[in-house]
Structure 1
Amino acid sequence: MVILLVATTSDPASIGPASALLAMPGWHTGPSLQDAVSFVNKEVRLIKLDNFLVKEDYLDKRWEEATGELVDEIIFLSKHVASSNRPALTVHPIGTPHIREGEVLFAGGKPGWAALPNPRIGPWLRLLRTIAESHKLTPEFEVINIINTR
Structure 2
Amino acid sequence: MNRTNWLLACCAALVATLIGCASSPASTPIADATAANPQLTTLNKLVQDAGLANTLRGAGPYTVFAPSDEAFKQLPKATLDALAQDKAQLKSLLSYHVVAGKLSTAEVQNGSVKTLQGAALALSKAGSYVTVEDAMVLQSDVPASNGVVHVIDRVLVPPKK
* Bin of the TM-score, shorter chain as denominator length: under 0.3
So what's the TM-score if we normalise by structure 1?
Answer: 0.27
| Bigger-Rg structure (1/2) | 2
So what's the TM-score if we normalise by structure 2?
Answer: 0.26
Q: Which has the higher helix share?
A: 2
